[in-house]
Structure 1
Amino acid sequence: MVLQTLMGWENIHLYTFRIHGSTYGSASGGAFLDIPIKQFRFQPKEKLLYTYDFSAFPRRTSWEIELRLEHISTNVPAEKYICCLEGARSGPLEDLGGPAGYRQWLLSRYSDEALKPLVRMAEVVDVILQQTEGSIRDHIDLDELQDLRDQLDSWHEEDPEHFDLIEVNQDLQDWQNRWFSQQP
């Protein structure tokens, strides 16, 4: 669930971890959550494979993420157990159909069609700046302006270049608090 949180995903798809030649996770039929992570005896530089969203057919469109252990720290306080040290860009939207769907989404995001609201907003701003007499309301359609603003807000919310380390760590802390509150 930590990886889904880091990616901004909701954990709605099957996933597996490939560790030491064995497969664990929701798609493997195993009870992965019952295995303490220390039982795997990971070593620095060791790699494992995380696969998410098997519904993205064919399988080659599932997300496959290679993870590598950088360092093992034994003196980290429990309240800081899970944290993100750095990052870049937001995770891809969850239901795009894997990497191929994400590529297509990126192409469509920057298409002429997708940028039309931005161009139209610039035209409206020009009208406002050129307005010298009368009411601005006589020269622009406020409903259209609100619609353009909503479209641009939506476009901005899905910005693939956005990354907020504080927000990510707050999400991780929230997840950690929920997780530990459910443990006996």
Structure 2
Amino acid sequence: MARTIIQLRISLDGVEPTVWRRVLIPGGFTLDRVHRVVQFAMGWGDRHLHVFDVEGVQYGVPDPDGLLDVRDELDVRLDAVALKGGRLRYTYDFGDWWEHDLIVEDEFPADLDADYPACTAGERACPPDDVGGPDGYRDLLAAIADPDHPEHTTMREWLGRPFNPAFFDPARMSTLLRRMT
């Protein structure tokens, strides 16, 4: 039986212009592996909690204290919750509250000559971790774009690296995704 590949379009809510990725993921991946794909594809640092929401049911890392009511993401395969035309929600970093739409664009048999997971398209760099959510990211972009902005130097130093919000390379991202598996 051929493996099923799920094509997801991942888009980050609250950011304009839109930051998005198109990824191809084996349907047999459990949601913990899908979490890793989202982290790599988007460019997050995987330093915070996350949760998937599928039709009101939440999946994530079980809370040993029982404060969060989530089902174990290790027990659920992507192809069990991702139906063509369907939608999953993914929230990362409960402080900054980054929400993502995961739209199931297609599903098809795997190409035996292709490597999965893969990123086939996307636009724009992911915001840096700990920037303060969509509002903090807007503030960061305004500050680094304007050398006369009062926070320009502080924000550039906080970033600690060059940052081009318009840059994204799907081929490089596919290479990184293949290394994660």
Q: TM range, normalised to the smaller chain?
A: 0.5 to 0.7
Task: Quickly say closer, same or farther: Cα 1:10–1:76, change in 2 above 3 A.
Answer: same
Give the distance between the partners of 1:10 and 1:105, measured in 2 at CA: 18
Please name the residue that 1:143 is paired with: none
State the percentage of identical aligned residues. Answer: 30
Of 145, 151, 158 in structure 2, the residue corresponding to residue 110 of structure 1 is 145
Residue 54 (str. 1) matches residue 59 (str. 2): no
Please, which runs of 5 or more residues in structure 1 have no aligned partner? 57-61, 118-150, 177-184
Residue 171 (str. 1) matches residue 176 (str. 2): yes
Normalised to the residue count of structure 2, the TM-score between the two structures is 0.65
Q: Per-residue deviation at 1:46?
A: 0.6
How do residues 13-32 of structure 1 correspond to structure 2 at under 5 angstroms? 13-26=48-61, 28-32=69-73
**Cα contact 1:16–1:28 (8 A) shared by 2:** no
Q: Per-residue deviation at 1:155?
A: 8.1
Q: Tell me the matched-pair count.
A: 135
Residue 101 (str. 1) matches residue 142 (str. 2): no
CA deviations 1:67-101 (Å, max 9, x no partner) are: 11000012333962211111111111111011111
Give the distance between the partners of 1:6 and 1:159, measured in 2 at CA: 16
Please, which runs of 5 or more residues in structure 2 have no aligned partner? 1-35, 62-67
Structure whose alpha-carbon radius of gyration is higher: 1
Task: Quickly say closer, same or farther: Cα 1:44–1:93, change in 2 above 3 A.
Answer: same
**Aligned partner letter, 2:95:** S
**Cα contact 1:50–1:67 (8 A) shared by 2:** yes
Query: Which runs of at least 4 in structure 1 moved beyond 4 Å after TM superposition?
Result: none
**CA RMSD, Structure 1 to Structure 2 (Å):** 2.6
CA deviations 1:80-125 (Å, max 9, x no partner) are: 22111111111111110111111111011112236xx9xxxxxxxx
**Cα contact 2:58–2:70 (8 A) shared by 1:** no
Task: Quickly say closer, same or farther: Cα 1:28–1:162, change in 2 above 3 A.
Answer: farther
Give the distance between the partners of 1:65 and 1:12, measured in 2 at CA: 17
- Higher relative contact order, structure no. (Cα contacts within 8 Å, ≥ 6 residues apart): 2
Q: Which of the pair is proportionally richer in strand? A: 2
Normalised to the residue count of structure 1, the TM-score between the two structures is 0.64
**Aligned partner letter, 1:47:** R
